[in-house]
Amino acid sequence: MEFDTEQLTALAITYGTKILAGVATLVIGLYVVSLIMSAIRKMFEKSGVDPSLRSFLASLISILLKVIVYITALGMLGVEMTSFIAILGAAGLAVGLALSGTLQNFAGGVMILFFKPYKVGDFIEAQGYMGSVKEIQIFVTILTTPDNKTVLIPNGPLATDSMINFSTQATRRVDWTFGISYGDDVDKAYEVLKKLIAEDERIMKDPEPFMALHTLADSSVNIVVRVWAATGDYWPVHFSMNEKVYKQFPQNGLSFPFPQMDVHLQREEDSA
């Protein structure tokens, strides 16, 4: 009985010490993690890191630090961690293979948040869709189309494929091609176009507007016009000029040609 008491006492001391050490490691480790995360969040705020990227990085770092604390605490309890880590790695590999597409989108989201090819509010064209960026999430980017549809695009293709961002530049070039009939006065067309351009205050004077006879087409003489405007004025300027040209050309003796074909008939005399 005396031997059993001594053995139990030794076991209690041994395992009690390990349990206390493991609990202490867990409590102190989690407290240290909270201090580190508080410092990291303040650092992100001072450095001006994007809010969406800030929350994502903070969550990721917090999870990694807590995993380290838990593994350390289990090691203090005497749990053999080599086999545990090997099993965890194998499980992670299996999950990674099963979720390869999701992980690709995750990696794409990280790249987008870091390199910022676009941001919330930008108007972009990608993967066959055009719209304003409403939200950038870890796995998808949410667009709102001009006709108010919501489109979710996976971040993987967005990070690796071509994309057009219409909002990065302060100005854009507006292009038109206006056709007049053969026989119309080209100089008169230039005069009308210059007048319309000069009257629109949204059109920039520098760079200077450009116009030239572009193509002698089958049914029309085509004049190309290029001007520069603020990005936000692109479509108002484009639509306004179309309407003005449609009204002003006929008033100045200029006509809009229709596709036409001349057919010549030739009658053959009987050889008899």
Second CATH level (architecture) for the domain 171-251: 2-Layer Sandwich (3.30)
Within a 13 Å sphere around the CA of 148, how many CA atoms are in the beta-carbon half?
Answer: 0
Q: How far apart are CA 44 and CA 214, in angstroms?
A: 54
- Measured from the Cβ of residue 61, the count of other Cβ atoms closer than 10 Å reads 15
Instruction: Enter the pTM of the model.
Output: 0.60
State mean pLDDT over 5-21: 68
For 44-62, what is each residue's pLDDT tens digit? 777 776 666 666 677 778 8
For 106-132, what is each residue's pLDDT tens digit? 788 878 877 888 888 899 999 999 999
Sorted by sequence, the CB contacts under 8 Å of residue 54 that are 6+ apart come out as 41, 44, 45
For 209-268, what is each residue's pLDDT tens digit? 999 999 999 889 999 999 999 999 999 999 999 999 999 999 999 999 887 677 777 777
8-98 CATH: 1.10.287.1260
- Which of the two residues, 16 and 220, has the higher pLDDT score? 220
What residues does each domain of the chain span? 8-98, 117-165, 171-251
- Measured from the Cβ of residue 41, the count of other Cβ atoms closer than 10 Å reads 17
Q: How far apart are CA 10 and CA 12, in angstroms?
A: 5
Fold of the domain spanning 117-165: SH3 type barrels. (2.30.30)
Within a 13 Å sphere around the CA of 28, how many CA atoms are in the beta-carbon half?
Answer: 8
